């Protein structure tokens, strides 16, 4: 049996880190990489992360293809690449919104080929191949989002790749449940952080933050994330993000009322309920 060939579309933070994580691993597939940013391909080749830089259409020669692009471009890429996948091959992705991508992947993929959605829970506020890191996925959760249409063999091949890259635990989640969970645990915190910094940026008279901003800077780190990427995420998970934002806004407004009224028992109950919930969250 020939060595499996894995194609990575998009050699940015996620795709580049996946290539670096697999590099030289026992049992690792042969890696082909594709990126329209030619300098990323050159950097990946120079780092020995990929064996070959290829054009998008050549990805159809791979056994497994992982699309590692921003979510809206992931949908486009799957639409273009899906019909060209050969029988027995697997198309997967690493997008942080799943329902739309999985629907599109299952629809687009050629007869006999398989689509499985995936989401490595890892990342930083930086992007591009220069930010890629072989240890990015080590000990970080990977979520596979199979549906009733998913081929179990294909699902296992995708899991194997991410396990080899260091991801653990590997969980399985329904795509729609995934999007609801991530609207709360990831998308809402990001829009909240953006709004918090935007508030400081739009103060009628600026406050001299200077050296006082250390804690604020830590708390709002995720507001330094890529604006294009996050614009795509809120559009791709539109209904769930809007629902979460509106629920959060009502909760914030309730707190504002308690503060305005100097409602001591109300404030204590509110803070205590939040603290109890936060203290009870599972450590990763």
Residue 25 or residue 239: which is nearer to a copy of itself going by CB? Answer: 239
Site string for a copy of itself, 211-230 (x = CB under 8 A): xxxxxxx-xxxxxxx-xx-x
Query: What minimum distance in Å lies between the beta carbon of 119 and a copy of itself?
Result: 9
Report, in Å, the least distance between residue 237 CB and a copy of itself. Answer: 10
Rg for the chain, CA atoms, rounded:
21
| 130 interacts with a copy of itself by CB under 8 A | no
Q: CA 129 to CA 37: how far, in whole Å?
A: 10
Sign of the alpha-carbon torsion through 109, 117, 192, 222: negative
Contact between 235 and a copy of itself by CB under 8 A: the answer reads yes
Q: 166 to 205, contacts with a copy of itself by CB under 8 A?
A: 169, 171, 177, 180-182, 184-186, 188-189, 191-203
To a copy of itself, the closest distance from the beta carbon of 9 in angstroms equals: 23
By CB under 8 A, tell whether 261 contacts a copy of itself.
no
Distance CA 190, CA 225 (A): 8
45 in contact with a copy of itself (CB under 8 A)? no
- 13 near a copy of itself, judged by CB under 8 A: no
CB of 278 to a copy of itself, least distance (A): 4
């Amino acid at each position: 049996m020939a060595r499996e060939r894995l194609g990575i579309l998009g050699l940015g933070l996620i795709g580049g880190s996946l290539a670096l994580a697999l590099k030289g691993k026992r049992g690792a597939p042969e890696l082909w990489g594709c990126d329209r940013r030619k300098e990323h391909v050159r950097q990946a080749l120079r780092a020995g992360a990929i064996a070959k830089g290829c054009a998008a259409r050549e990805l159809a020669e791979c056994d497994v293809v992982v699309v590692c692009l921003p979510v809206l471009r992931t949908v486009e890429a799957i639409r273009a690449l899906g019909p060209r996948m050969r029988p027995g091959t697997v198309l997967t992705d690493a997008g942080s919104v799943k329902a739309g991508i999985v629907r599109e992947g299952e629809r687009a993929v050629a007869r006999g080929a398989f689509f499985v959605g995936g989401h490595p829970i890892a990342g930083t506020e930086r992007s591009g191949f220069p930010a890629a890191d072989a240890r990015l996925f080590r000990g970080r959760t990977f979520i596979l989002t199979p549906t009733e249409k998913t081929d179990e063999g294909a699902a296992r091949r995708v899991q194997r790749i991410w396990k080899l890259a260091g991801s653990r635990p590997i969980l399985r989640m329904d795509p729609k449940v995934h999007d609801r969970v991530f609207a709360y645990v990831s998308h809402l915190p990001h829009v909240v952080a953006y709004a918090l910094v935007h508030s400081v940026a739009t103060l009628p008279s600026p406050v001299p933050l200077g050296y006082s901003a250390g804690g604020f800077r830590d708390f709002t780190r995720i507001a330094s994330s890529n604006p294009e990427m996050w614009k795509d995420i809120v559009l791709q998970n539109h209904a769930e993000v809007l629902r979460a934002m509106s629920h959060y806004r009502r909760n914030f407004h309730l707190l504002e009322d308690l503060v305005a009224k100097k409602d001591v028992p109300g404030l204590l109950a509110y803070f205590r309920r939040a603290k109890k919930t936060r203290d009870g969250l599972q450590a990763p």
